[in-house]
A and B are shown apart, each in its own frame.
Chain A
Amino acid sequence: MTWTLLDRCCEKCTHSLENPCPDYIECRLSGPLCHDDERCRELRRRRLEELRYGEKGAKIKVPMASCTLAMGAEAVYRAVEDSVKKIGLEATVAISGCYGLDFIDPWLELAAKGMPTAIYANVKPSDVPRILEEYFVKRDVGGAFALKEKTGAAKGEDKVPLLSELGFWAKQYKWVSRNCGVVNPESLEEYVASGGYRGLSRAFKLGPEATIEEILKSGLRGRGGAGFPTGMKWRITRQQKATPKYVIANADEGDPGAFMNRLLAESDPFRIIEGLTIAGYAVGANQGYVFVRAEKPLMAKRLQKAVEEARRYGLLGKNILGSGFDFDIEVILSAGAFVCGEETAMIAAIEGKRAWPRQRPPYPAEKGLWGKPTAINNVETLAHAATIMAEGAEKFAAVGTEKTKGTKMFCVTGAVKRVGAYEVPIGTSIRTLVEELAGGPPEGVRVKAVQVGGPSGGCIPASLLDLPLDYETLQSAGAIMGSGGIVVIGDENCMVDVAKFFLTFTSAESCGKCIPCRVGLRVMWSILDKITRGEGTEEDLQVLRQLAETVRSASLCALGGTAPNPVLSTLRYFMDEYLAHIREKRCPALVCRALITYRIDEEKCIACGQCALNCPASAISKTEGGKYRIDESVCVKCGVCYAVCPVKAVYKVSGAG
């Protein structure tokens, strides 16, 4: 068995699970602390190097997260194993999390002593033998996407940029996501080697009150959307007399287009587990729960594995690190309901009931799980807490705005060149994120709007891209920070249709408990549907706005309270599009199907027959001239022909035809 950093270095070490050493974590890296022995120090040094370059001096990392797996990372992993055997390479093959740069998936990272660590992008299994040979045999990094450092020892180093120089990396502030793509998410040892669990050790030395003080001093606010000060939440929970108390990690990341929590949990799960343990210690809870969204099972698997590892090494269980504090965690996988992200609904779900939210107050901090004081925090918040306890409140508060300190992970998706998750200081402008980090829209597309904050957020027009991303500014612009999902909407999209899309989502996800949300959203949806069919009136717009205000103010929970935002914000910024549908019976973006007609340009048509083959309504037939034509009386306007035509001969025109 290989000696790991988590093991005792020699017989003199006093640490054991029965009698844990309070300095266990610090001792892993800068030890030994209780005795002095050069051999023990050397053991640590050698192991740290092994973690970086593998036991054989060469290491290949394959990212295994949902995003890279969907792009074929598993096949790449197998190809790496095969090639290593074939070439007879002495190399360690390991898994890692993901950098959050979706546009380079799947990627590979190669490291060897004396060589610059190199990242290869968009790797296909068939590329693997060539890449390995170039790097390890020819010592040539010319084909890499980016290097982590330059050593001058490898060929082709000049041709490849440093990762830290690339705009989408340099402009990020890697605080809570620092380990994503760097460490093996299933290895507690690597987490500890990266500085993990220093936060919990420090919390134990400070005591619960001072831990809460430290979090308050950092200015950390909830990253799940509402922005409530985390230290305050902990303090209120701590002050309650009722016992037992509970802590819950909200990993029910449900906003479409948001995947920062998934990325974090799949890439650096121990940080979340550490954060929840600190929360438990601070509020005085001995049991924690992590509630994970159903659609993200790998997240649950990694967190579960992290819990088991932490138990194995005494970082969960009885008398953690000799502090006298007992704590354990259960990971629960949801079965799919957006409303579970609402804290009182999540509590009901954990109690084995329907996930129905309830009226607040009392807030969960007073009466939560089983009616006991409960602190619920988003997983990014908890990961921030762990990092703050390790690095200190001042470092965290060094970036951000006056009112909101620190960083936030944002996911930029939709009409951009570089879809990904980016961590930036709060207060960074939307434009910086969309244009500099995510690379702006693809060729031929103009940004029309950005949708910030998921279905509860609003659509901000392109003219306001310079707004800074912070809780207060977004709110006054009609959006919300939410979980930090930013969907970039190009000019090929219709804003009425987008508003209708979000209402389709929220009305389907309404739990049904309160009437404003259950009925109100449905009626709002039917009005939008009527408008997209060209049957709307200007009076409908008034009713729509009135309903939106009612649903917003009268709903029981935040789902209904924020669901009208996409409608209100599009009414505010894109009234011209609503009016075009109503007055001219025209959809300016040519999206709403009742208002458009599909035609085939016979000049462009190459008679390949793909449209006719795929048409579900058999509305397309060959003309005498050998080209294809759409019979408008049969056409159902599904748009399949438009999507499959290889030469873009199918086009749309305004008018019902």
Chain B
Amino acid sequence: MGKLEGSDEVGVLPDKVFEGVPKAPYGLLEALRRVQAVYGYLPPEGIRRAAEYVGVPFAQAYGVATFYHQYSLEPIGKYRILVCMGTACHLRGNSLNIEFLRTFLGLKAGRKTTEDRMFSVEEARCFGCCGLAPVVVVQKPDGSNEIVGRANPRTLRALIERYRRQERGGAK
């Protein structure tokens, strides 16, 4: 677990981050989501602020943050690759796709993010787009989602290479 004391380790949260979020316990899920949208993950100080805002103890908010799949307590990649592990996607080859992605990106066992923090590969729950199985969804740095239907190692390889090209192009 990271440092709980000391606030500005991760920078200051913008004042408006919780705008429109209900100041009640049922707002906690949304408040945490807002914090994660700022940092890309949930640093302890962010969890503390969310807890204070909705009025629940820090320990309770921390418990909630660790409970749900969509929260990450560690920094995640710029491109977050979510591989659907629903039944239809499993039957149509996503177990193979995720293994391909992990091997192709050189992820070691237990790690979900590449060393350069460019890509994260995660298993995801059914997106309800079973007609397109197998489905891979990429959350991109600009906040948009790219949905890849009927994914296979070849299309995924091309996808990663396209992102890498864009990143190189953007750096120039």
Q: For residues 301 through 337 of chain A, which have their beta carbon under 8 Å from a beta carbon of chain B?
A: 330, 332-337
Closest chain A residue to B82, Cβ basis? A295
Task: Pick from A295, A414, A639: contact of B96, CB below 8 A.
Answer: A639
- Interface size for chain B: under 10, 10 to 19, 20 to 34, or 35 or more residues? 35 or more
* Contact present for B131 and A103 (CB under 8 Å): yes
Measured between beta carbons, the chain B residues less than 8 angstroms from A617 are 103
Q: Closest Cβ of chain A: how far from B59's Cβ, in Å? A: 11
| Contact A334/B26 with A413-B131, A644-B154 known, Cβ cut-off 8 Å | no
* A383-408 interface bits toward B, Cβ cutoff 8 Å, 1 = contact, 0 = none: 00000000000000000000000000
* B94-137 interface bits toward A, Cβ cutoff 8 Å, 1 = contact, 0 = none: 00100110011000000000000000000011111111110100
Q: Closest Cβ of chain A: how far from B140's Cβ, in Å? A: 15
Task: Pick from B96, B147, B154, B157: contact of A69, CB below 8 A.
Answer: B147
Counting CB contacts under 8 A, is A81 at the interface? Answer: no
Closest chain B residue to A294, Cβ basis? B70
Closest chain B residue to A455, Cβ basis? B87
Q: Closest Cβ of chain A: how far from B13's Cβ, in Å? A: 18
Closest chain A residue to B155, Cβ basis? A644
Task: Pick from B29, B91, B100: contact of A335, CB below 8 A.
Answer: B29
Q: Closest Cβ of chain B: how far from A414's Cβ, in Å? A: 5
Q: Closest Cβ of chain B: how far from A66's Cβ, in Å? A: 6
Most chain B CB within 10 A, of A67, A355, A610, is at: A67
* Contact present for A259 and B128 (CB under 8 Å): yes
Counting CB contacts under 8 A, is A226 at the interface? Answer: no
Counting CB contacts under 8 A, is A228 at the interface? Answer: no
Closest chain B residue to A352, Cβ basis? B25
Task: Pick from B24, B87, B100, B127: contact of A295, CB below 8 A.
Answer: B127
* Contact present for B71 and A295 (CB under 8 Å): no
Counting CB contacts under 8 A, is A71 at the interface? Answer: yes
Q: Closest Cβ of chain A: how far from B130's Cβ, in Å? A: 4
Measured between beta carbons, the chain B residues less than 8 angstroms from A255 are 126
Measured between beta carbons, the chain B residues less than 8 angstroms from A354 are 60, 63-64, 67
* Contact present for A70 and B135 (CB under 8 Å): yes
| Contact A616/B29 with A66-B127, A411-B130, A643-B152 known, Cβ cut-off 8 Å | no
Measured between beta carbons, the chain B residues less than 8 angstroms from A105 are 131
* A333-362 interface bits toward B, Cβ cutoff 8 Å, 1 = contact, 0 = none: 111111000000000011111110000000
Task: Pick from B29, B89, B96, B125: contact of A254, CB below 8 A.
Answer: B125
* Contact present for B93 and A335 (CB under 8 Å): no
Within the assembled complex, what's the spacing in Å between the Cα atoms of A184 and B66? 38
Closest chain B residue to A336, Cβ basis? B69
- Interface size for chain A: under 10, 10 to 19, 20 to 34, or 35 or more residues? 35 or more
Measured between beta carbons, the chain A residues less than 8 angstroms from B91 are 414-415, 487, 489-490, 493, 498
* Contact present for A294 and B128 (CB under 8 Å): no
Interface Cβ pair total, 8 Å cutoff: 164
Counting CB contacts under 8 A, is A227 at the interface? Answer: no
Most chain B CB within 10 A, of A254, A256, A355, A644, is at: A256
* Contact present for A296 and B128 (CB under 8 Å): yes
Counting CB contacts under 8 A, is A289 at the interface? Answer: yes
Counting CB contacts under 8 A, is A451 at the interface? Answer: yes
Q: Closest Cβ of chain B: how far from A150's Cβ, in Å? A: 29
Counting CB contacts under 8 A, is B85 at the interface? Answer: yes
* Contact present for B154 and A419 (CB under 8 Å): no
Within the assembled complex, what's the spacing in Å between the Cα atoms of A289 and B24? 13
Q: Closest Cβ of chain B: how far from A489's Cβ, in Å? A: 7
Counting CB contacts under 8 A, is A475 at the interface? Answer: no
Within the assembled complex, what's the spacing in Å between the Cα atoms of A253 and B24? 24
Closest chain A residue to B61, Cβ basis? A352
Measured between beta carbons, the chain A residues less than 8 angstroms from B135 are 70
Counting CB contacts under 8 A, is B90 at the interface? Answer: yes
Measured between beta carbons, the chain B residues less than 8 angstroms from A511 are 67
| Contact A67/B129 with A333-B33, A337-B67, A352-B25 known, Cβ cut-off 8 Å | yes
| Contact A616/B100 with A256-B125, A256-B126 known, Cβ cut-off 8 Å | yes
Task: Pick from B61, B103, B154: contact of A638, CB below 8 A.
Answer: B103
Counting CB contacts under 8 A, is A523 at the interface? Answer: no
* Contact present for A256 and B86 (CB under 8 Å): yes
Counting CB contacts under 8 A, is B56 at the interface? Answer: yes
* Contact present for A295 and B33 (CB under 8 Å): no
Counting CB contacts under 8 A, is B22 at the interface? Answer: yes
* Contact present for B152 and A644 (CB under 8 Å): yes
Measured between beta carbons, the chain A residues less than 8 angstroms from B30 are 332-333
Counting CB contacts under 8 A, is B54 at the interface? Answer: yes
* B11-38 interface bits toward A, Cβ cutoff 8 Å, 1 = contact, 0 = none: 0000000000010111111101100000
Within the assembled complex, what's the spacing in Å between the Cα atoms of A585 and B68? 39
Question: B: which residues have CB within 8 A of A?
Answer: 22, 24-30, 32-33, 54, 56, 60-61, 63-64, 67-71, 85-91, 93, 96, 99-100, 103-104, 124-133, 135, 147, 149, 152-154, 157
